[in-house]
């Protein structure tokens, strides 16, 4: 957890919503200089803070509408802090809750150097990152349709389908596998949606790949050098990290990727683990998937996996391998070097 500790003359806390936002501005002594509910427009915001622009810092809790405000502050030269929503929830609590109280608490945390920071993703790659996340969401929807067809086969106790549903040429014979016309209509809906996804997703992937080569061709090439990193996994890692230099240490990077389990300790005794879901869920999925694809047609990786299974058990072996790959990616991007299998396996 990183706190924003810089000192300013004026501290602005904002409880941000889709259409309205509540502003609370404190001075250096903690006195309330402004407390007002305004519309979520650039003109309304700049007009409200006009009298306090001298050494002003703005803080807002991380939620889905912060993009425009961060970009506006960057253009206007106003310091902007994005608060980590989960950590802020743990820090500021109270019996009563409304927009005015929340805005004042955010400003007070900012003034006291106790606001936990989230990363303000720059606008140059932000839209492409969101587009890639949308692609992953659509791919999961496609997988749900395939799973529904497989479950329907089991639901009616039909013999297993010989082909692979994910392949278009095998799906041509799939409808004849269901004798009931109503069940056949249900499966036909799934197949129609799968065909639409198959037409849209490859175009989307080619577009994102072209964007990645424009944004950071070197990092994309380095990530492609890992065995099993085909296309989507390097893209996901590239856009979710953005800049490896924002992680001063490999431990911080591993924690952000959810590849380590923080321990809960008191009086020298470990009482368990907590915070395993704090971090980037997309990077967690990417490295978990990379650990699986890394084993394909890779005898040295399979031998390492067998040793890890004997040492840690079958369930934890892939997690350990994913953590090792995450550590390797950090040093690859930090040093600008391709993946070195000899160095990876010698440890």
Based on the fold, state whether residues 176 and 250 are members of the same structural domain: no
| 109 neighbors 115 (Cβ within 8 angstroms) | yes
Same domain, 106 and 15: yes
pLDDT for 141: 96
- Read off the tokens for 183: 């069940």
Task: Quote the pLDDT of residue 190.
Answer: 96
192, 249: one domain: no
- 273 three-state secondary structure: strand
Asked if 67 and 126 touch (Cβ cutoff 8 Å), the reply is yes
CA distance 347 to 342: 9
Q: Give pLDDT tens digits for 116-148.
A: 999 999 999 999 999 999 999 999 999 999 999
| Residues comprising the chain, all counted | 347
Instruction: Return the pLDDT at 270.
Output: 75
Domain assignment present for residue 236? The answer is no
Query: Considering the domain boundaries, does residue 229 fall inside one?
Result: no
Asked, for residue 231, whether it belongs to a domain, the answer is no
Domain end residue (candidates: 94, 116, 138): 116
* Residue 234 belongs to some domain of the structure: no
pLDDT along the chain (347 residues), means of 10: 92 95 96 96 96 95 93 96 86 81 93 92 95 96 96 94 90 91 95 96 96 95 94 95 95 93 77 77 96 94 94 91 96 95 87
Residue 222 falls inside a structural domain: no
Residue tagged 């030269």 (tokens)? 77
Overall domain count for the chain: 3
C-alpha pair distances (Å), 218 with each of 58, 212, 222, 224? 35, 10, 6, 10
Q: Are 55 and 9 in contact (CB under 8 A)?
A: yes
In the block, residue with structure tokens 């005898």: 299
Provide the pLDDT for residue 307.
94
Tell me: do 171 and 212 sit in the same domain.
Answer: yes
Write down which residue in 116, 137, 171 finishes a domain: 116
User: Residue 233 domain-assigned?
Assistant: no
Distance separating alpha carbons of residues 218 and 338, to the nearest angstrom: 10
> What are the C-alpha distances in Å from 169 to residues 127, 163, 172, 190?
35, 9, 6, 16
Residues 110 and 8 in one domain: yes
The verdict on 73 and 155 lying in the same domain is no
Q: Are residues 187 and 250 in the same domain?
A: no
Domain boundary among 64, 93, 116: 116
Which CA distances in Å does 212 have to 31, 131, 174, 206, 316?
47, 12, 37, 10, 33
φ, ψ (nearest 5 deg) of residue 8? -140, 170
Indicate whether 301 and 204 sit together in one domain: no
- Quote the pLDDT of residue 90: 66
Instruction: Give the separation between CA 61 and CA 203, rounded to whole angstroms.
Output: 35
Q: Residue 34's Cα: distance from chain center in Å?
A: 35
The reply to whether 187 and 255 lie within a common domain is no
Domain membership flag for residue 230: no
> pTM score, two decimals?
0.89
Task: Count Cβ neighbours within 10 Å for each residue of 183-222 and write b for 16 or more, e otherwise.
Answer: beeebeebbeebeebeeeeeebbeebeebbeebbeebbeb
Contact residues for 85 (Cβ-Cβ < 8 A; gap 6+): 61, 62, 63, 118
Q: What are phi and psi of 215, to 5 degrees?
A: -75, -50
Q: State whether 75 and 159 are in the same domain.
A: no
- Predicted confidence at residue 347, as pLDDT, reads 66
Domain that holds residue 22: 3-116
Residue 220 and residue 238: Cα distance in Å, rounded?
7
Residue 228 lies in a domain: no
């Amino acid at each position: 957890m990183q706190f924003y500790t810089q000192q300013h003359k004026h501290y602005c806390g904002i409880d941000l919503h889709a259409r309205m936002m509540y502003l609370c501005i404190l001075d250096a002594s903690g006195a309330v200089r402004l407390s007002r509910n305004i519309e979520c427009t650039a003109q309304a915001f700049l007009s409200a803070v006009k009298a306090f622009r001298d050494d002003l810092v703005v803080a807002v809790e991380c939620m889905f509408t912060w993009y425009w405000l961060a970009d506006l502050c960057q253009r206007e030269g106003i310091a902007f802090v994005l608060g980590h929503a989960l950590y802020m929830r743990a820090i500021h609590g109270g019996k009563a809750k409304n927009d005015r109280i929340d805005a004042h608490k955010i400003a007070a945390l900012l003034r006291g150097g106790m606001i936990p920071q989230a990363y303000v993703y720059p606008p140059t790659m932000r839209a492409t990152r969101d587009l890639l996340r949308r692609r992953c969401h659509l791919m999961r929807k496609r997988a749900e349709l395939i799973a529904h067809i497989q479950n329907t086969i089991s639901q009616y106790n039909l013999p297993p389908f010989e082909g692979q549903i994910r392949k278009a040429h095998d799906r041509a014979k799939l409808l004849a596998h269901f004798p009931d016309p109503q069940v056949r209509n249900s499966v036909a809906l799934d197949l129609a949606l799968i065909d639409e996804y198959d037409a849209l997703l490859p175009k989307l992937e080619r577009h994102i790949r072209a964007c990645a080569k424009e944004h950071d061709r070197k990092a994309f090439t380095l990530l492609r050098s890992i065995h099993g990193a085909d296309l989507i996994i390097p893209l996901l890692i590239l856009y979710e990290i953005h800049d490896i230099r924002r992680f001063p240490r490999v431990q911080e990077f591993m924690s952000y990727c959810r590849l380590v389990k923080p321990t809960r300790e008191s009086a020298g005794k470990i009482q368990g683990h907590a915070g395993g879901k704090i971090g980037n869920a997309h990077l967690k999925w990417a490295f978990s998937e990379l650990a699986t694809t890394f084993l394909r047609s890779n005898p040295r990786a399979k031998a390492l996996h067998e040793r890890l299974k004997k040492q840690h058990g079958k369930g934890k072996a892939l997690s350990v391998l994913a953590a090792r790959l995450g550590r390797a990616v950090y040093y690859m991007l930090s040093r600008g070097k391709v993946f070195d299998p000899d160095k990876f396996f010698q440890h």
